[in-house]
Chains A and B, each alone.
Chain A
Amino acid sequence: MFYREAGDFKTTYREDSQTFPIKFDRLRFYAVLAVAYGVIPLFINDYWANAVAVPFLIYAIAAIGLNVLVGYAGQVSLGTGGFMAVGAYACYKLMTAFPEVSIFVHVLLAGGVTAVVGVLFGLPSLRIKGFYLAVATLAAQFFLVWLFNKVPWFYNYSASGQITAPDRTVFGVFVTGAQTSAMAKYMFCLVMLTIVAVLARNLTRGMVGRKWMAIRDMDIAAEIIGVNPLTAKMTAFMVSSFFIGIAGALFFSVYLGAAEVGEAFGIQKSFLILFMVIIGGLGSIFGSFAGAAFLVLLPVLLKNLLVGALNWPTDLAAHIELMIVGALIVVFLIAEPHGLAQLWRVAKEKLRLWPFPH
């Protein structure tokens, strides 16, 4: 009824190729942005920021990053945790070496460092693909974690190997360290996520993204029509690692405040983010959000429901929570193998016809 193209006339190419061609979609998008920027910061408290909003925003950045690589360019990666660690340690070294520089710059630079490392570990993708590439990136994961454990320079020779984020500001407002307000944390991550999402969306809509998808769909055919596999694969690794590096830097500096590499950036992290991408939907920016929301918010929700509302013992609740999340993943993937994004797409198609399906 209200969700349709009819009457929504486009008179320029620019209008025709915009991200949200349907007016209702566009309005909905602005409404989400308005709520995220205008309403939530007014009400957010420490619990909501630290347990719900900030992890969701950061995991969404990481999921977008991995989705660029796995979903759009078709290169399987199990090195996400390791690349996040690169972002985190780069950010830590930059924060401690140049305390006067804004943390905003450091986070972006940390992403840049990760991009370089990502390209380095992406080189094998020119020769191998599929499961073999997954194993090569798995090696990156273990190597990077080992490196940050082994070389004391990365953690400034602290006795325990922990890295701790010092207090740093953006425009005079604390965004890392203990004095940070819930709103500052939330806003900083939100701005980063917005930048990343807009960038990723436009890259994937443009020529670069089309090259990635051509490589994903059939690399030989792509090569024949003139896509250079070297640049396509390397840019995919670069962009993906850049985003993942930003996520890692935020994860350490804004969210956790202190981290040790094996615990915070272990192989479980790689799998967690890969699951987010798969459950959310490969090759979809919205899917990255949905997958991150599913795997970050659902456990917190279940915990509060079972322990807080039903007063179950904490261990029983923790076990049941794992089982429920696991079962839901199975159910979702059986019902819709293309992830939550596909469910959303189907819902939109239905809405377009509703209420007159013929």
Chain B
Amino acid sequence: MKTTFAALVAASITLAAPAMADLSVPNLSYRTGPYAANGIPYADGFNDYFTLLNERDGGIGGEKVQVPECETAYNTEKGVECYEATKGQAALAYNPLSTGITYQLIPKVTADHHVLYTPGYGRTSAANGKVFEWVFNYPANYWDGASVAIKYLLSQNGDDLKGKKIALVYHNSAYGKEPIRTLEELSKKHGFELNTIPVDHPGQEQKSQWLQIRRDKPDYVIMYGWGVMNQVAIQEAVNIKFPMENFIGIWWSGSENDVGPAGEGANGYKSISFHGVGNNYPVYADLQKYVFDAGKSAGSADELGTVLYSRGMYAAMIISEAIREAQGMAGHSAVTPEEVRDGFEHLNLTEARLTELGLPGFAQPIAATCADHGGPGSAIMLQWDAMAKTWGPVSDWITADKDVIDPLIAEDSAAFAAESGTAERCN
């Protein structure tokens, strides 16, 4: 029995070895399971941007980019399998879109020398490049998100949140727990009352949590949710007639898929984002021409310009820019993972460069350094218009309260360094 299995597995793995590509950026995606509704558009945006580069420019610096996809189902065990299966092909960067998988991969990529790029998720203290050599999470992280939400609320309340009640509804996992410490610090600083309400995976059942919210009557609710949990939470909020404009989701809780099921009730729901949305950017004309019209897209055309599609594209854009930077620094186009890491560390994404890429004003400029892997930490507030079915910005770029976050990052990364015996770099 066992030997037959082993023989079959052996046979299929030898068959499975794909052609060696010059540049390989694996896409650890999830298109199945309770998080698929969010995983699919992100993965499609990621794939499509690299397809665009291959079709329009012939790759990056003349080298085609291969994007081998591997299904993780947001499951850490499958994440390990996917990482091991793809790392042999000199994978340049990993973007697993899962905080749990990120935690697992951090020691592995550090030992194996691959870049782990986790825009807006993952381990927040990886923003400290002195400790986390191989991990990058610019432009913003979970703690920035929490701070941006509070700053926005401050601006709405004349810079005073004293005596206000704020509830945090969070996915009861590493991801959802991340902002608690920041929000606790901020509540001390600004004098609001914080109430944390966990929702267990996958979050299809939230009646009791929202009953609690109805009883406590918080002034604002902040949500750190993902997958089916978002849709259920927004529907429950509509059911208890919670005022939608006082309900703010982190960037992972604000896609069209999340607000859609609640229909018009979701009108006015707010969400933070670290990039622009909608398809008014010139790059979409190219995407339409080279990818969608050519029938090479990973998903359907109605995803174009949606929040998560844009975010997958954003991640792909940053990775491709880092590869370009690495090619410039190394002086040759077939770059190694080590060279790409240098590219990430010296990435200087300016407004002008974004305009060149067909994404003017899409995101904040990034100037990474050896110590700074966390980026500017700024984001905009979006609001959902259920009639027009679009997200529109309701604020300018808000920068996180670095006075609160930087000490927390230093503390958490120092704890990691002590635990893992990592020496500080960049001195």
Which residues from chain A sit less than 8 Å from chain B, CB to CB?
Answer: 46-47, 50-52, 55, 96, 149, 158-162, 164, 166-167, 177-179, 255-260, 262-264, 266, 289-290, 293, 297-298, 300-301, 303-305, 307-309, 313-315, 317-319, 340, 344
Contact = CB atoms under 8 A, between A and B. Distances in A.
Contact of B100 (A158, A260, A304): A260
Given A263-B173, A308-B12, A51 B2 contact: no
A149 B171 CA distance: 12
B84 interface: yes
Q: Is the interface of A mostly helix, strand, loop or mixed?
A: helix
Interface of B: 1-2, 5-6, 8-9, 12-13, 15-18, 29, 31-32, 36, 40, 69-71, 73, 75-77, 80-81, 84-85, 87-88, 99-100, 103-104, 106-108, 110-112, 123-125, 172-175, 177-178, 180-181, 198, 200-201, 408, 412, 415, 419-421
A296 to B, nearest CB: 9
Given A149-B198, A164-B107, A304-B16, 14 more contacts: A159-B125, A160-B178, A162-B103, A162-B174, A164-B420, A177-B107, A258-B106, A262-B172, A262-B200, A266-B201, A303-B71, A304-B15, A307-B16, A317-B71
25 contacts: A47-B13, A50-B84, A51-B85, A96-B419, A149-B172, A159-B124, A161-B177, A166-B420, A178-B111, A256-B76, A256-B77, A256-B104, A257-B107, A258-B107, A262-B200, A263-B100, A264-B76, A293-B5, A297-B9, A298-B5, A308-B12, A313-B31, A314-B69, A315-B71, A319-B32
Contacts of A300: 9, 81
A297 B76 contact: no
A160 B29 contact: no
Contacts of B175: 160
B84 to A, nearest CB: 4
A273 B111 CA distance: 32
Contacts of B104: 256-258
B5 A178 contact: no
Nearest to A157: B415
A301 B69 contact: no
A149 to B, nearest CB: 6
Q: Is the interface of B mostly helix, strand, loop or mixed?
A: helix
- Nearest 7 CB-CB pairings of A with B: A308-B16, A315-B31, A178-B107, A178-B111, A160-B174, A314-B71, A309-B15
B273 to A, nearest CB: 22
Nearest to B98: A263
B9 A52 contact: yes
B205 to A, nearest CB: 13
A314 to B, nearest CB: 4
B76 A318 contact: no
B76 A263 contact: yes
A158 B73 CA distance: 25
Contacts of A161: 173-174, 177
A308 B15 CA distance: 7
Contacts of A160: 99, 103, 123, 174-175, 177-178
Nearest to A54: B80
Contacts of B71: 303, 307, 314-315, 317-318
Contact of B70 (A266, A290, A314): A314
A260 B99 CA distance: 10
Contacts, number: 145
A52 B2 CA distance: 12
Contacts of A52: 9
A159 B419 contact: no
Contact of A159 (B13, B80, B181): B181
B84 A258 contact: no
A135 to B, nearest CB: 19
Contacts of A259: 76
B327 to A, nearest CB: 28
Contacts of A289: 2
B200 to A, nearest CB: 6
B255 to A, nearest CB: 18
A300 B5 CA distance: 10
Contacts of A303: 71, 81
A47 B111 contact: no
Given A51-B84, A263-B100, A159 B177 contact: yes
A67 B13 CA distance: 32
Contacts of A51: 80-81, 84-85
A55 B9 CA distance: 15
Of A158, A159, A344, most buried by chain B (CB within 10 Å of CB) is: A159
Contacts of B75: 263
B107 A340 contact: no
Contacts of A313: 31
B103 A344 contact: no
Contacts of B125: 159
Contacts of A297: 5-6, 9
A196 B174 CA distance: 33
A262 B76 contact: no
Given A166-B419, A263-B76, A308-B13, A47 B88 contact: yes
Of A177, A304, A305, A309, most buried by chain B (CB within 10 Å of CB) is: A304
Contacts of B73: 318
B81 A309 contact: no
B234 to A, nearest CB: 22
B173 A304 contact: no
A179 B173 CA distance: 26
Contacts of B70: 307, 314
B227 to A, nearest CB: 12
Contacts of B112: 178
Nearest to A298: B5
A159 B123 CA distance: 9
A307 B124 CA distance: 33
A298 B5 CA distance: 8
Contacts of A309: 12, 15-16
B80 A256 contact: yes
A178 B9 contact: no
A298 B85 CA distance: 16
B1 A290 contact: yes
Nearest to A297: B5
Contacts of A314: 29, 31, 69-71
B141 to A, nearest CB: 11
B98 to A, nearest CB: 9
B86 to A, nearest CB: 10
Nearest to A52: B9
A163 to B, nearest CB: 9
Of B16, B75, B175, most buried by chain A (CB within 10 Å of CB) is: B16
A317 B124 CA distance: 33
